[in-house]
Chains A and B, each alone.
Chain A
């Protein structure tokens, strides 16, 4: 089977699973049937995504499918990998979470069916965003992510969850309409200058004509794209829907929204960023990203500190981290872009872990109020340890993955001459660290409330969380060479440079070569040991 067909199958699997579950009657069929279809869907997507990403990264070639409609390059692969792996882990965690909600009477059979159906649809729409080569379809896919998650956010059908759903739908559809306007401007300009206007909607086809685009029009289009897709990504000041939707959604959905969906929206901004740099130079797009990135970090940092609701705290932390990604794009250059992509991966896993842990807390304490959550370590020791590790990782401490991407962010800022901004961002991140340390000391430690029954959540919930901790520790201590190579290839696409040229860029070369040499050294040692044996 060729790779193009596999790309189509990758998207078809969750869509078919969604349709199948939608057709199964919820009352006559036991929950286990929905769980089986769900597990088969997420496991297949994970296996296919990983296989295709490895193929793209190792060969250095991109895959086209259905003519030019779908395109899987190294840049898209980073996000496909996130969707596949985090989608699988949060999907697995959903089993324990939904079972608990069903046992407590929070979800009936119809809501369970709705949950699993829309979960698969959500995965499908995100894959559509990452793999689409048609800019109009890219917009439609982002819009579809909002529509597919609306009922997931409103799963519980309570007043607050419906309020959050409404804010989510209206803010994101209005916001993404800006993205449509930006997309229309790019398309219209491309159709005007390209010899074959029928190819004007395809990103890979319009990019070679970048030098002929109208600079002013593309600047307007980029502003519209940043407002539109930035709304979906949770950038300040369009982030208002995010804390409400993330806090009211079931925890595995919050994990997927924050860990993956926000990054998919950033991917679309990155596609516009590439085009704008090619048309208009780097000053305008980088300055805009620098402003929204820095503002998002500073505003969200104080919001993280002031929140008493665990999930709202984590949601504002997502705004802050998306701000870090935007800031890195604002710094630009090989280091800035690599830091942005690396942070998407590192934060994706860390935040998915933290939202799943917030699910454990909800299962044990029945509340998100941090004033009432005390002594997690005594009540649920494994959850307590994972929660402490998660907050330390999210604060950017070594030896966890986000330390690496945040350090690279600081280096990129200093190298590009933004020491003053790096100091301001450093201070803002200190406020975030203070907020997380406070949660560890007050919620994780301390005496447990007497009415809370001791005992951890089941292994079904803990296994995916432990897997995510292993990933963030692995990536923090010894990031695998294939991951670095993938980030490097994706960076080359963003900068529209040859990988070999990029590989020899100052500092970038040193940073990436250091790990490469370490990897080669380790392989050589391993080979010599084998020979000796």
Chain B
């Protein structure tokens, strides 16, 4: 199995983990699965680094490990602790079967979309590229389908992971500074969103997005 085949195979694992995040019952479980997913992403970066002889990707895998495997789940878990680990039963707005159908449709559409891309760097990794694009839309599905606002934060994280993977696949030699810029901004976004969630919980005593629907029209 060559490096690019392994990248495509690991990409499939990413999709499975994303679906598990969307379907997970609690933010705590979602945080743990997100850490595992980020570990898969790190291994994709390393594999791709070996396959393309890109030293930058090894650096990326280091920063992605710190930011995505450690910091993001830690921030979410810390936020949960600040709220006293609430565990409200908030079912998803979409049934699990419907979620799986939507994700499957997104993957199929993304596979179709990437066929028209003619970049030389994309030739070997089109399945992974399709998965990275699909990953982005699964993140959006997560935001739209969740009632628990803390779980909506994971939707953004999935979208960001999708963009990050696309960047690694299409521009494996991008300078480390570009990757750090994206990663740092995403960390700040997660911190701010978590602070807002904690403030909402302390003021309104809910994590239910349905109870945050007074502003209309």
Asked if B97 lies at the interface with its beta carbon under 8 angstroms from chain A, I say no
Of the listed stretches B70-78, B87-95, B162-170, chain A binds B162-170
Asked if A197 lies at the interface with its beta carbon under 8 angstroms from chain B, I say yes
Contact yes or no, A181 B173, CB < 8 A: no
Least Cβ–Cβ distance between B88 and chain A, in angstroms = 16
Contact yes or no, A164 B215, CB < 8 A: yes
A291 to B163, CA, bound (A): 26
Q: Which of A154, A160, A173, A184 contacts B193 (CB 8 A)?
A: A173
Contact yes or no, B193 A169, CB < 8 A: yes
Asked if B143 lies at the interface with its beta carbon under 8 angstroms from chain A, I say yes
Q: Which residues of B contact A192 (CB under 8 A)?
A: 119-121, 170-171
Interface residues in B112-155 by Cβ distance below 8 A to A read 113, 116-121, 133, 136, 139-140, 143, 149, 152-153, 155
A306 to B216, CA, bound (A): 12
Least Cβ–Cβ distance between B114 and chain A, in angstroms = 10
A154 to B120, CA, bound (A): 47
Chain B, interface SS category? helix
| Pairs A–B under 8 Å by Cβ, sample size 9 | A162-B200, A166-B196, A167-B212, A177-B156, A181-B162, A181-B163, A187-B171, A192-B170, A309-B217
Contact yes or no, B215 A248, CB < 8 A: yes
Q: Which of A144, A160, A166, A191 contacts B185 (CB 8 A)?
A: A144
Q: Which of B119, B143, B171, B214 contacts A163 (CB 8 A)?
A: B214
Contact yes or no, A177 B159, CB < 8 A: yes
Interface residues in A420-467 by Cβ distance below 8 A to B read none
Which chain B residues have a beta carbon within 8 Å of chain A's beta carbons?
Answer: 113, 116-121, 133, 136, 139-140, 143, 149, 152-153, 155-156, 159-160, 162-163, 166-167, 170-171, 173-175, 178, 181-182, 184-185, 188-189, 192-193, 196-197, 199-200, 203-204, 212-215, 217
A303 to B216, CA, bound (A): 11
Contact yes or no, B192 A147, CB < 8 A: yes
Task: Identify which of A143, A191, A307 gathers the most chain B CB atoms within 10 Å of its CB.
Answer: A191
| A154-B181 CB under 8 A given contacts A177-B139, A192-B170 | no
A164 to B212, CA, bound (A): 9
Q: Which residues of B contact A164 (CB under 8 A)?
A: 215
Contact yes or no, B215 A174, CB < 8 A: no
Contact yes or no, B192 A188, CB < 8 A: no
Contact yes or no, A184 B181, CB < 8 A: no
Task: Identify which of A154, A162, A217, A248 gathers the most chain B CB atoms within 10 Å of its CB.
Answer: A162
Contact yes or no, A159 B156, CB < 8 A: no
A170 to B196, CA, bound (A): 10
Q: Which residues of B contact A189 (CB under 8 A)?
A: 119, 170
Q: Which residues of B contact A129 (CB under 8 A)?
A: none
Least Cβ–Cβ distance between B207 and chain A, in angstroms = 10
Interface residues in A130-162 by Cβ distance below 8 A to B read 136-137, 139-140, 143-144, 146-147, 150, 154, 157-160, 162
Contact yes or no, B160 A177, CB < 8 A: yes
Least Cβ–Cβ distance between A162 and chain B, in angstroms = 5
A interface residues, how many (CB within 8 angstroms):
51
Q: Which of A137, A166, A198, A244 contacts B175 (CB 8 A)?
A: A198
Asked if A56 lies at the interface with its beta carbon under 8 angstroms from chain B, I say no
Contact yes or no, B118 A214, CB < 8 A: yes
Contact yes or no, B182 A180, CB < 8 A: yes
Q: Which A residue's beta carbon lies closest to that of B162?
A: A181
A247 to B181, CA, bound (A): 32
A164 to B167, CA, bound (A): 32
A177 to B189, CA, bound (A): 11
Q: Which residues of B contact A144 (CB under 8 A)?
A: 185, 188
A154 to B197, CA, bound (A): 12
Q: Which residues of A contact B162 (CB under 8 A)?
A: 181
Least Cβ–Cβ distance between A205 and chain B, in angstroms = 14
Least Cβ–Cβ distance between B144 and chain A, in angstroms = 9
Contact yes or no, A191 B116, CB < 8 A: no
Which chain A residues have a beta carbon within 8 Å of chain B's beta carbons?
Answer: 136-137, 139-140, 143-144, 146-147, 150, 154, 157-160, 162-167, 169-170, 173-174, 177, 180-181, 184-185, 187-189, 191-192, 197-198, 200-201, 214, 216-217, 220, 243-244, 247-248, 303, 306-307, 309, 312
Least Cβ–Cβ distance between A86 and chain B, in angstroms = 25
| A162-B181 CB under 8 A given contacts A187-B171, A188-B170, A248-B215 | no
Q: Which residues of B contact A198 (CB under 8 A)?
A: 175
Contact yes or no, B196 A162, CB < 8 A: yes
Q: Which residues of B contact A181 (CB under 8 A)?
A: 133, 136, 159, 162-163, 166
Contact yes or no, B170 A184, CB < 8 A: yes
Q: Which of B133, B152, B171 contacts A191 (CB 8 A)?
A: B171
Least Cβ–Cβ distance between B67 and chain A, in angstroms = 14
Contact yes or no, B192 A150, CB < 8 A: yes
Contact yes or no, A169 B171, CB < 8 A: no
A309 to B166, CA, bound (A): 43
A150 to B143, CA, bound (A): 18
A238 to B121, CA, bound (A): 33
A214 to B114, CA, bound (A): 13
Q: Which A residue's beta carbon lies closest to that of B153?
A: A170
Q: Which A residue's beta carbon lies closest to that of B193?
A: A169
Q: Which residues of A contact B140 (CB under 8 A)?
A: 174
| A173-B199 CB under 8 A given contacts A150-B192, A192-B171, A244-B215 | no
Contact yes or no, A166 B149, CB < 8 A: yes
Q: Which residues of A contact B213 (CB under 8 A)?
A: 163
A67 to B117, CA, bound (A): 33
A43 to B156, CA, bound (A): 37
Q: Which residues of B contact A191 (CB under 8 A)?
A: 170-171, 173-174
A200 to B121, CA, bound (A): 15
Q: Which residues of A contact B117 (CB under 8 A)?
A: 214, 216-217
- Beyond the given pairs A173-B156, A174-B155, 8 more chain A to chain B contacts, judged by CB atoms under 8 angstroms and listed by A's residue number, are A136-B178, A143-B185, A143-B188, A170-B193, A181-B136, A191-B173, A192-B120, A303-B217
Contact yes or no, A163 B199, CB < 8 A: no
Q: Which of B113, B160, B197, B204 contacts A159 (CB 8 A)?
A: B204
A164 to B216, CA, bound (A): 10
Q: Which residues of B contact A165 (CB under 8 A)?
A: 196
Q: Which of A139, A143, A154, A188 contacts B199 (CB 8 A)?
A: A154
A166 to B143, CA, bound (A): 12
Q: Which residues of B contact A166 (CB under 8 A)?
A: 149, 196-197, 200, 212
A79 to B188, CA, bound (A): 26
| A159-B214 CB under 8 A given contacts A184-B163, A188-B119, A217-B119 | yes
A169 to B212, CA, bound (A): 14
